[in-house]
Amino acid sequence: MKIVIIEDEKLTAQDLELVLSEVNPAIEIISILSSVKQGKQYFQNQAEPDLIFSDIQLGDGLSFEIFEETPVKSPIIFCTAYDEYALQAFQQNGIDYVLKPFSAEAIRAALDKYERFSDLFSRPTDQLQELRKLLEQNKPATSSILVYHREKIIPIKISDIAVFYIENQLTHLITFDEKTYYLNTSLDQLEKKCGPEFFRANRQHLINRQAVREASHHLSRKFTVKLQVPLPTSITVSKEKLSEFLTWLEE
């Protein structure tokens, strides 16, 4: 398998090259590219690899610019510290999205997905739409959310988050171990990122199914939802959304 790595951090590129060789000794790294400019020049003049591992934020722009301007048909596994580009990555030839710092297990899982899809990539170009539909159906939900904590940005696993809520026009989250963080993301964006395990109870609350402890009638037209973690504001579900909520809760 021939692979091109697009990564502007030399140590990260070397680390990825080492992990790939350990996961599959048959892999051949044919080039390591470090900029958008270099990537455009390379793919305009070189044969395409079997697979591309690409960072997204490079020193001179986003790697998406490479694939938008050059006719690259190779599947791409994006490796980045920023999960905000996940949807755009799958609009390219992206088959997976690995958050940094990546592990050998994450790289192995991404290569396994490539193997499952490799027969489709060998088909004629007019079947590209079939592949894109398959990738769209199988794309993973975002695995982590970036939060601000003591002047640092750290990733929090979505599975560890009990609830997102708005208070004083700020978005907060509470983890199952009852830690609170702030983040610069709207609930509308979070609802799309987090997938079906989370339910938009109202304009202020997005809750994890695993966090729901009980629900009860409230003022006849609403249900009050209690979580397994303490919350500074009450959660209510309107009568109009109640059926949808109960269906979601029993899934």
pLDDT tens figures, 1-35: 899 999 999 999 999 999 999 988 999 999 999 99
In sequence order, what are the beta bridge partners of 123? none
Q: What are residue 226's DSSP bridge partners?
A: 214
Beta bridge partners of 173: 164, 181
Same domain, 98 and 17: yes
The pTM for the full model equals 0.49
Per-residue pLDDT reduced to its tens digit, 205-227: 999 999 999 888 755 567 889 99
pLDDT band, very low/low/confident/very high, at 110 (cuts 50, 70, 90) = confident
Output the CA–CA distances (angstroms, integers) from residue 103 to 15, 100, 121, in the order listed: 10, 8, 26
Instruction: Determine the Cα–Cα distance for residues 56 and 112; give it in Å rounded to an integer.
Output: 21
User: 122, 138, 154: which is the final residue of a domain?
Assistant: 138
In this structure, the answer to whether residues 130 and 232 fall within a common structural domain is no
33 & 103 share domain: yes
The domain that contains 159 carries what CATH number?
2.40.50.1020
165 and 52 in one domain? no
Same domain, 12 and 80: yes
Whether 158 and 197 share a structural domain: yes
Strands 28-33, 2-6: pairing kind: parallel
Structure token digits, residue 58: 């490079």
Looking at the fold, whether 130 and 56 belong to one and the same domain comes out as: yes
Q: Is the pLDDT of residue 116 over 50?
A: yes
| 6 and 116 part of one domain | yes
What pLDDT is recorded for position 206? 95
Strands 61-62 and 57-58: antiparallel
- Which residues are CB-neighbours of 92 under 8 A, at least 6 positions away? 64, 67, 68, 76
Domain match, 127 and 207 both:
no
In this prediction, residue 233 carries a pLDDT of 81
Which of 103, 138, 173 terminates a domain? The answer is 138
Domains: count for the chain: 2
**Residue that terminates a domain, selected from 101, 123, 138:** 138
**Are residues 202 and 225 part of one domain?**
yes
pLDDT digits (tens, 9 = 90+) for 28-78: 999 999 999 999 999 888 888 989 999 888 888 888 888 888 878 888 888
- Residues 234, 165, 100, 45, CA torsion sign: positive
The CATH number of the domain holding residue 129 is: 3.40.50.2300
- For 72, the domain range is 2-138
CA distance 78 to 80: 6
Q: Are residues 171 and 130 in the same domain?
A: no
First-to-final CA distance of the chain: 41
Same domain, 81 and 129: yes
Length of the chain: 251
Query: If you average pLDDT over residues 156-172, what whole number do you get?
Result: 91
Nearest to 112 by CA among 124, 131, 98: 98
